[in-house]
């Protein structure tokens, strides 16, 4: 057994971003059963950083204080140099980016090029311009370091891994459709039930904000950009669509639910105050759907055969899974493929929350072992 232990791989893990998801990830990582192959070598917040090549001596209760007490400022280029120096046979190095930062995302090609694996729930790198995505693929191919981003779509749900497996085993994807946003899921599950009437749109959005389901500025959810980013990420794993969105999520046909008159409002509080002015508009859409025996759902569609990638407010029958199977902030994704022709493969469950998102990140880390 001693010989096996001495030849087992170890993984030096550097965590950037220690907010809700980052903090939960650290908690889950530090609770990993012994003997753990993981050594936490670095923690970085927006204000300070810790680095110890042989592993930080921190616990679930001490790491916040130790990080806050560090006199060292975060420096991504310095971290790149330090992690690159740790890469050697039998010792893997992993950058876990729990931020939503464009700056960190832009450095993925460099980390990968030097042999540092990248794991992240950060959607920016995979949903922006095609050029950055191509650089990530090329750097990964060159060094053999892997990038894993399960938690960029559906938090901890196995959406990316399911799609990768379908493609890798030779299945042909014909269409993917789903409710990709936990925020939009909650809003329309509450607002549109297939019955006449119901709560006003503005009141549902206001409650969603109070519960922490929306961004501080609800327009950041209602503009559909989050769904467009997820559709971009999904479509790039489908070989025939990899280059279909040169400008990333901005190339996706996206329906914004932000009234034109409110587009310039920078304050979330002001936006919520003005939103009731447009309740009659949303009431009419709900009534029209109910009259047809349908509900409103903000859905994402990747139609491979038609070459259509869109995020839009769609009407679905009251018997459709998007009407009957969803609760709270659930996500539901349907994979229509040649093998799953008669009945689609469905992945459904909690699509938001720090604990499940961190689980998605940790599950990616385990894929390296």
Considering only CA atoms, which of 357, 365, 192 is closest in space to residue 282? 192
CA geometry: angle 213, 255, 306, nearest 5 deg: 120
Copy the structure tokens of residue 325: 């199977």
Q: Of residues 230, 294, 310, 315, which has the active-site annotation?
A: 230
Angle of helix 20-30 versus helix 354-367 axis, rounded to 10: 50
CA–CA separation, 300 and 313 (whole Å): 9
Any binding-site annotation on 17? Answer: yes
Any binding-site annotation on 353? Answer: no
Which one-letter DSSP state was computed for residue 31?
T
**Helix or strand (DSSP H, E) at 253:** strand 253-254
Any binding-site annotation on 21? Answer: yes
Any binding-site annotation on 123? Answer: yes
Any binding-site annotation on 167? Answer: no
Any binding-site annotation on 61? Answer: no
**Helix or strand (DSSP H, E) at 204:** helix 201-210
Specify the 3-state DSSP secondary structure of 89. Answer: coil
Please say whether the dihedral angle defined by the alpha carbons of residues 119, 123, 124 and 129, taken in this order, is positive or negative. Answer: positive
Bridge partner residues of 177 (DSSP): 301, 334
Copy the structure tokens of residue 160: 């990316």
Any binding-site annotation on 264? Answer: no
Copy the structure tokens of residue 167: 């493609």
Bridge partner residues of 336 (DSSP): 175
- Reply yes or no on whether 64 is catalytic: no
Cβ pair 84, 114 in contact under 8 A: yes
Which one-letter DSSP state was computed for residue 39?
E
CA–CA separation, 22 and 116 (whole Å): 19
Please say whether the dihedral angle defined by the alpha carbons of residues 305, 310, 315 and 320, taken in this order, is positive or negative. Answer: positive
Any binding-site annotation on 365? Answer: no
Angle of helix 182-191 versus helix 201-210 axis, rounded to 10: 140
The DSSP bridge pattern shows strands 10-16 and 91-97 to be parallel
Any binding-site annotation on 215? Answer: yes
Q: Which positions are catalytic? A: 230
Q: Which residues are annotated as a binding site for NADP(+)?
A: 17-22
Q: Which residues are annotated as a binding site for L-homoserine?
A: 215
Q: Which residues are annotated as a binding site?
A: 17-22, 99, 123, 215
Q: Which residues are annotated as a binding site for NADPH?
A: 99, 123
């Amino acid at each position: 057994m001693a010989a096996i232990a001495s030849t087992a791989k170890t993984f030096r893990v550097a965590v950037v971003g220690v907010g809700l998801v980052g903090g939960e990830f650290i908690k889950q990582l530090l609770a990993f059963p012994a003997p753990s192959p993981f050594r936490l070598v670095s923690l970085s917040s927006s204000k300070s950083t810790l680095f110890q090549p042989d592993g930080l001596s921190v616990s679930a209760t001490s790491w916040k204080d130790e990080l806050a007490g560090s006199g060292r400022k975060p420096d991504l280029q310095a971290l790149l140099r330090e992690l690159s120096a740790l890469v050697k046979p039998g010792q893997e190095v992993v950058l876990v980016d729990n931020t939503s930062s464009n700056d960190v995302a832009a450095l993925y090609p460099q980390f990968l090029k030097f042999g540092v694996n990248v794991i992240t729930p950060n959607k920016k790198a995979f949903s922006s311009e095609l050029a950055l995505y191509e650089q990530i693929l090329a750097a990964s191919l060159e060094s053999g370091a892997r990038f894993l981003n399960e938690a960029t779509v559906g938090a901890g749900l196995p959406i990316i891994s399911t799609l990768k497996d379908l493609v890798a085993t030779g299945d042909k994807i014909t269409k993917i459709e789903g409710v990709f946003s936990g925020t939009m899921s909650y809003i329309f599950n509450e607002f549109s039930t297939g019955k006449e009437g119901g709560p006003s749109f503005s009141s549902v959005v206001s409650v969603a904000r109070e519960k922490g389901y929306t961004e501080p500025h609800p327009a950041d959810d209602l503009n559909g950009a989050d769904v467009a980013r997820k559709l971009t990420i999904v479509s790039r794993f489908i070989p025939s669509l990899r280059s279909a969105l040169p400008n990333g999520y901005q190339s996706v046909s996206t329906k914004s639910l932000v009234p034109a008159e409110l587009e310039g409002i920078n304050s979330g509080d002001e936006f919520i105050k003005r939103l009731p002015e447009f309740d009659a508009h949303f009431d009419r859409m709900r009534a029209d759907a109910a009259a047809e025996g349908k509900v409103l759902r903000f859905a994402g569609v990747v139609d491979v055969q038609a070459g259509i990638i869109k995020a839009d407010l769609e009407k679905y029958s009251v018997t459709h899974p998007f009407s009957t199977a969803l609760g709270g902030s659930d996500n539901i994704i349907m994979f229509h493929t040649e093998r799953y022709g008669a009945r689609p493969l469905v992945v459904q469950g909690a699509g938001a929350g720090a604990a499940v998102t961190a689980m998605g990140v940790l599950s990616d880390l385990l894929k390296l072992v």
